[in-house]
Amino acid sequence: MADSPSHPFLQGLSKHRGAPPTVVVIFGASGDLCARKLIPAIYNLGADGLLPAEFSLIGFARKPIPDDEFRKLAHAGITEFSRRAPTPEVWDRLAPNVTYVSGGYDEKAAFDRLAEKITGIEKKLGREVQTVFYVSTPPNVFSSILVNLGSSGLASKYLGQPHQSKVIVEKPFGKDLETAKALNKTINSVFAEPQVYRIDHYLGKETVQDLLVQRFSNSIFEPLWNRDFIDNVQITVAEEVGVGTRGGYYEQSGATRDMIQNHTMQLLALTAMEPPSSLDAEAIRDEKVKVLKAIQPLTVGPHGDVARAQYSAGLMGGKPVKGYLEEEGINPQSGTETYSAIRLAINNWRWQGVPFYLRSGKRMARRVSEIAINYKRPPGTLFAGEGAKFDLAANTLAFQIQPDEGLSLVFNTKIPGLETRTQPVKMSFRYAATFGSNTAEAYERLILDCMIGDGTLFIRGDETEASWKIYTPVIDYWRSVGRAGMDSYAAGSWGPPNSDALLAQRKRRWREP
């Protein structure tokens, strides 16, 4: 194997923002997320020279898997899902440090074996290493894992030092306010808050981070970022995929828990927050929490602030697909929504009177996530002469989170000719055109940030609770009324009529991204 000088990791050096020697332990290592996202992310960090020179990966799950077999699974995951194909140059360096521990999540002896293994790595290296625990199991075992990390002494290892143990906790973070509080309590009985990294992978997306840069590094946006100029904000996270094989999970979740309460609310918080006093994690998280706490409680019931629906059979890319109620593992009488639309009011100086509309659905016309800032309509009087349009289009600034990441501005211009006629046109910036398209995946950024102890792109305990406080009454209400008020939309469409009605109540319409 020839080491390339362009890869410090391969030379046994550590370039990057100072990640100390690290062991990453993935709980649930036999699972889907590990193979599809986590191991490919770690591989790409290695390929980019961003892993510390002394790096080890330990998979932990109940299924007995020999080390060699786990390495093969890891390699297969990288081959199938990584943004780069594995090269021997990187893989041969990583593979010897990839091992597996089999055991129950509630089995203290298994955690003792894990602790011994980590101590063995330290002895071999002749130095202390930090451990990052990645909890990537279904949520019913989160607590057992956390408790065992506490009782085995792994959680408190090197506490208070930069290389103290850290824990990444996957979603869903509770299923309502009460369960989120209970989970926070369990976590904080074992780990100090600075050790805890609650993940929302949307925060690791390049464009989501760029939202802060766009807002606070350009003087043209911020002066107009308020109720004096903005009419409404629309946040859309639309997916083409249906529920697939995840029926068991999804039936207990639905779009509001799965997407709205976490991903779209994080987008809202970054869009609506005040400028933080610094880029320090706590300063940013303080501002996000302030916005979440300023949101007015939602009104449920007919003509309230919420709409829900399920997809019915339709066409995706010209091919027929089943409706939600016909999908595998779904109760034919299910009351679980695959689409959710919400109208939020933020009661603060900046946003008073500006509705924020959020929507997310599966099996929609197109996979697209965007934040659209819709400005107030300009007065049309000046161009009200013969041949002119009275109804000037409103300006829209749209951040396209994915795919085809970018930013566009819609503004009015004169149609060339002797008459004065106006037409809205779009000016676009696309990341791929300027910077190329092989950007890092969210999990790469987030795992690296945790290794270097930067919690900015993770969610603090009080943020999760502030968000659940908004949605728990909605979820409770829907549960209490069964299928009442459940609308439907054809797979491949832009959503149900009740969602359009939610905006029409205030004389607005969804923008088609």
Binding site for ligand NDP (CB under 6 A): 28, 30-34, 61-63, 136-141, 170-172
- Contact residues for 333 (Cβ-Cβ < 8 A; gap 6+): 325, 483
Taking the complex as a whole, how short is the minimal distance between the CB of residue 196 and ligand NDP, in angstroms?
15
Any long-range contacts for 503-511 (C-beta under 8 Å, 24+ apart)? 503/343, 503/357, 505/303, 506/232, 506/343, 506/355, 508/231, 508/232, 508/355, 508/357, 510/234, 510/236, 510/357, 510/359, 511/234, 511/236, 511/372, 511/374, 511/396, 511/398
62 contacts which partner out of ligand BG6, ligand NDP, none, CB within 5 to 8 A by kind? ligand NDP
Give residue number: closest CB to ligand BG6.
258
Question: Closer to ligand NDP at the Cβ: 33 or 192?
Answer: 33
264 contacts which partner out of ligand BG6, ligand NDP, none, CB within 5 to 8 A by kind? none
Question: Closer to ligand BG6 at the Cβ: 163 or 171?
Answer: 171
Alpha-carbon Rg of the chain, whole angstroms?
24
Question: Closer to ligand NDP at the Cβ: 61 or 291?
Answer: 61
Taking the complex as a whole, how short is the minimal distance between the CB of residue 363 and ligand NDP, in angstroms?
17
Taking the complex as a whole, how short is the minimal distance between the CB of residue 170 and ligand NDP, in angstroms?
4
Question: Closer to ligand BG6 at the Cβ: 165 or 207?
Answer: 207
Residue 264 · residue 234 · CB < 8 Å: no
28 contacts which partner out of ligand NDP, ligand BG6, none, CB within 5 to 8 A by kind? ligand NDP
239 contacts which partner out of ligand BG6, ligand NDP, none, CB within 5 to 8 A by kind? ligand BG6
Preceding peptide of 86 cis, ω within 30°: no
- Contact residues for 123 (Cβ-Cβ < 8 A; gap 6+): none
Question: Closer to ligand NDP at the Cβ: 73 or 94?
Answer: 73
243 contacts which partner out of ligand BG6, ligand NDP, none, CB within 5 to 8 A by kind? none
Q: Tell me if residue 326 falls in helix, strand or coil.
A: helix
Is 263 tagged catalytic? yes
- Contact residues for 6 (Cβ-Cβ < 8 A; gap 6+): 49
Question: Closer to ligand NDP at the Cβ: 32 or 92?
Answer: 32
Taking the complex as a whole, how short is the minimal distance between the CB of residue 307 and ligand NDP, in angstroms?
25
69 contacts which partner out of ligand NDP, ligand BG6, none, CB within 5 to 8 A by kind? none
Taking the complex as a whole, how short is the minimal distance between the CB of residue 490 and ligand BG6, in angstroms?
20
Taking the complex as a whole, how short is the minimal distance between the CB of residue 251 and ligand BG6, in angstroms?
13
Number of H helices, E strands in the chain: 15, 17
- For ligand BG6, the binding residues (CB under 6 A) are 171, 201, 239, 241, 258
Please count the other Cβ atoms lying within 10 Å of the Cβ belonging to residue 219: 7
| Continuous segment of H or E residues that includes residue 163 | none
- List the catalytic residue out of 16, 75, 263, 303: 263
254: left (phi over 0), alpha (psi -120 to 50) or beta: left
Q: How far apart are CA 431 and CA 168, in angstroms?
A: 29
Give residue number: closest CB to ligand NDP.
31
Q: Active-site residues: which are they?
A: 263
